[in-house]
Amino acid sequence: MSRKTILTWLVLSTTLLAPLQESVQEPPPDPITVEELQRLIDATGGWWVAGETNVSRLSPDEQQYRLGLASDAFDRAFLSQLPTSTAPAATFSLPSSVDWRDHNGDWTTPIRDQSNCGSCVAFGTLGAVESRLEIYHDDPNENPDLSEQHLFFCGGGDCESGWYPSAAMSFTRDTGVVDELCDPYDANDHTCSPCTNWQSRVTKIHCWYYVGGRDDVKHYLANYGPVEATMAVYRDFDYYVGGVYRHTWGDLRGYHAITLVGYDDSEGYWIAKNSWGDDWGEDGWFRAAYGDVIYDSAYTPVFDQAPPGGASNVRPDGWSGLYTNGITPSFRWDSATDDAGGCGIQGYYVAVDDWTPEGAGGNDWWAGSITYFTVPDTLAEGEHIFAVTAVDMGGNPNPTDTGQPGDAPYYTFYVDIVPPQSQVASLPSQSGSTFTVSWSGSDAASGIASYDVWVRDGDSPWQDWQAGLTSTSSTFAGTPGHTYCFRSRARDQAGNVEIWPSSSDDCTTVRDFVSFLPLTTRNYAKSKPAQ
């Protein structure tokens, strides 16, 4: 074997065996010291700093109580039942970074400590809700302090088993959460026992969404405020004191709920609020790399601020045109849609003769979420309008009440309850075998739509002659010697029909003509014989 061949084999052997040699290196020590962990972080090019924290010094059992996201919260069938939302395709022009702690003010609330109870879901939920409440009230200095104790123990959580973000969001929407003074937190399992006047002290969100996909999460975070997220927690996370965390060492300890308050695309990380007190992490906050331990999904509480789109195509229901003889007419309209960040349509105010229905006054009504309505009160004869205002789940109306004509979509209509009048014109006492019958009518409101005309031959029963005729005359062919009587009734544009008169309007007799054949004179003289 040549020297060149030997050298080639040595190079190949070194290259092929290198991964194997790495794979048989000694595993990281367990337990590990802070110094050993930091060497691992540095060796892998990590951007975070390890150190002793209030959590790393706890026993394994105590550390476990610092989590609390239920183990089956990621079940696909379970997640498929949650209310979802996606960002509109046209909105994906997102800022490269957002931090709600410094976003023309600090829109976050102070770091809390869940202590030795698996109640992270309550803290992750209310971290987002409190920030959204400040944004809703446009006051970064409000600093609301809602009760994790009330949310967790009245909602159905317990320190041992933890809870679900979806259940926490639904409780905050349906029941609401009291302030901290009404039900202070003490990190022990409790029965639900808030203060006596708790119902007057609750804060409710208008709705919530489960959002999947990193860009969608960033859209709702950047445009509307902090959201609740979930993450996997490994043993090295207990030692985090700063930097951009990425899992480096240790087994999975479980799952955790947090509040996302920002992100940074240039360095590829999320900014999050934890519930382990301010002696852990970056004064209680942390940054974590995209795609590592924080899942690309979020639970988004909503205080609905923007008004919805309006209802449209207001129209009669069960009748048509401008006129009705119904004194309690029915209407229908096309449903409104809420804005992209909203909670949907709560329902509709409707009104007669009010340009902007808002539920006040005797002629305004709440229709609920249906898109049809029958006016419950009797309407006077004359011109009216029927208008519709859409209201979203946040109570925002479209339109707002300005009282100006055309503010809300509307339909103009006329109530006409008085039947028209008609009359067959006078006929001569005698007529030819064909003659013209004329009639006319009047209606003070909607006008004549059509006529019906009956005829009677002598004393025989009345019979239809003309029905639904819009003209006011027609030619009749009769039998000589017969007397014909006529009567009419009119129908107006509102559908009111005149009652038939009890007697005929007028009669005429067809003349009985006698025909005489002309006499023909014939010459009966004998003809001369032919010669």
Q: Which of the residues are catalytic?
A: 120, 256, 274
Nearest one of 387, 305, 312 to 349, comparing CA atoms: 387
Residues 6+ apart with CB under 8 A from 10: none
For the chain, give percent helix, strand, coil, nearest 5: 20, 30, 50
Helix, strand or coil, per DSSP, at residue 385: strand
- Residue 145, burial from CB neighbour count under 10 angstroms (0-12, 13-18, 19+): middle
Amino acid at the residue 443:
D
Q: How many CB atoms lie within 10 A of CB 458?
A: 11
Contact 373, 365 (CB under 8 A): yes
For residues 252 and 74, the answer to whether their CB atoms sit within 8 Å is no
Amino acid at 122: A
**Paired tokens of 258:** 């947090």
Q: How many CB atoms lie within 10 A of CB 417?
A: 16
Nearest one of 251, 264, 236, 283 to 112, comparing CA atoms: 283
Q: How far apart are CA 155 and CA 159, in angstroms?
A: 13
Q: Are 200 and 283 in contact (CB under 8 A)?
A: no
CA 254 to CA 234: how far, in whole Å?
7
Instruction: Report which residue type is found at 8.
Output: T
The C-alpha torsion from 311 through 313 and 316 to 318, rounded to 10°, is -100
Measured CA to CA, the distance from residue 468 to residue 480 in angstroms comes to 28
Classify residue 296 by its DSSP letter.
S
Q: Is the peptide bond before 405 cis (omega within 30 degrees of 0)?
A: no
Residue 425, Cβ neighbours under 10 Å: how many? 15
Both structure tokens of 466: 């003309």
CA angle 85, 89, 91 (to 5 degrees): 95
DSSP string for residues in 63-111? HHTT--B-TTTT-HHHHTTS-B----GGG----SEEETTSSSS------
Roughly what angle, to the nearest 10 degrees, separates helices 120-137 and 165-174?
40
In degrees, rounded to 5, the angle at the alpha carbon of residue 38 between the alpha carbons of residues 48 and 249 is 85
